[in-house]
Amino acid sequence: MSFSFFKAKSKSPQEIVRATKDSLLALDASTAVEVKALDKALEEVEKNFSAMKVMLCGDGEAEPSSNQILQLTVEICNEDVIPLLVHKLLLFSWQARKDLVLCWSVILKQVDDTHYCAKYIENHLELLDFLVVCYDNKDAALTSGNMLRECIKFRSLAKYILESASFPLFFKYVKLPNFDVASDAFATFKDLLTKHSKQVSEHLTSHYDEFFEMYEKLLESPNYVTRRQSLKLLSDFLLEPPNSQIMKRYILEIRYLKVIMTLLRDSSKNIQLSAFHIFKVFVANPNKTHEIKIILAKNCEKLLDLLQNLSIGKGSEDEQFEEEKEMIIKEIERVSRFINRERPS
C-alpha cells in the first residue's frame, strides 16, 4: 500500500523564502536573556535552511528543479533575505552554516540573464566587508570564507574587495594562530590575487608600495607555512603576463632582492626552490640597476655555493631546472667580473 497520500505537500520557493525570512527576523526579537525563545528561533532557521537546501540541491532521490532554483533565487533577492543571511551568520549553528554554504553556492551560480544574487550584492557591497571581518570569529570564519570565495568568482565583487578598506585585513588573517582559519583566509587571499588578472594588475599598480610593504612581512614571517605559501603565491601572480609591468618594477627593488636572497638560504628546500624561481627573474633581467649588480657581485661566492647545491631531482623537470640554474650562475659570474673590473685596483 502506498502512503504517498499522507506525504506533506512540498512548499513553493516563495513559501520557503518567506518562512526563512520570518525565522531570521525572529532572531532580532529573541534576546540572549530569552534563551528558550532564541533556541526556538535558531531551530526554525536550521529547519528552513534545510528545506532551502533540498530545493536547491535535491534530496538524494529527486534532482532539483532548475525552474524552482531560479524562482527561489529571485525571491531571496526580492525579499531582501541576503543581508539577513550575512548579518545573522554569527548566530547560526554549525549545521545551519553548513547548509547555508551549500545554498549560497547554488544561488550565486544562477546565471539567467542578470546573475541575480551577484547583482544584488553589487548594490549592497557592505555585505562583503562584513564577510571579510567574520574571519575575526573562529566559529564563523570558515563559512564566511566559503561565501567570499563564491563572491570572488565575479569580477566586480572581487574588484570591490581588492579596493576596499577590508582588503589589508587579509595580511593579518593569514597569520592568525588558528591554523584552519589562517589557511582558509589564505585561500581567499589567493583567489583575490589570481582569479581576475586585469583587476589585480590595476590594484597593484595603484597600491604598489603599500601592498608590497605588507607582503614583505609575510615573506619574513617566522612561521614556515606563512613563508612558503606567500612565496609560492608571489610567484603565481607576479609572473602572470598581465602583471609584467609590476614584475619589472619589483625586480628593480634592492630591498626585495635581499628578501628573496634570504629565502634562498632558508632551511627548507621547498622555500629555497620557490625563492629561486623569483630570484632568477632578478638575475636574468637585462635592465638590472647598477646597485643590484653590486649586490649580486658582493654575494657572488655565497650565491654560487647555494645554487650549485640546489636541485629538485624530478626527471625532465630537473633537466630544465638545471639549465635555468646554469644560466643564472653564468650571469652572476658575468656581473661579478664586470663589477670587479670597475673597482679600482
Identify the pLDDT of residue 4: 47
Identify the pLDDT of residue 85: 96
Q: One digit per residue, pLDDT tens: the chain, 345 residues?
A: 444 444 456 789 999 999 999 999 988 865 555 777 888 889 999 999 999 999 998 877 778 888 999 899 999 999 999 999 999 999 999 999 999 999 999 999 876 556 788 999 999 999 999 999 999 999 999 999 999 999 999 999 999 999 999 999 999 999 999 999 999 999 999 999 999 999 999 999 999 999 999 999 999 999 999 999 999 999 988 888 889 999 999 999 999 999 999 999 999 999 999 999 999 999 999 999 999 999 999 999 999 999 999 987 666 667 888 999 999 999 999 999 988 886 655
Identify the pLDDT of residue 94: 94
Are 131 and 151 a contacting pair, CB within 8 Å? yes
C-alpha cell at 232: 609560492
Q: What is the pTM of this model?
A: 0.90
Identify the pLDDT of residue 100: 96
- C-alpha span between 38 and 99 (Å, rounded): 19
- C-alpha span between 224 and 47 (Å, rounded): 43
Going by C-beta distance under 8 Å and a sequence separation of 6 or more, which residues neighbour residue 119? 77
Are 332 and 296 a contacting pair, CB within 8 Å? yes
- C-alpha span between 279 and 329 (Å, rounded): 11
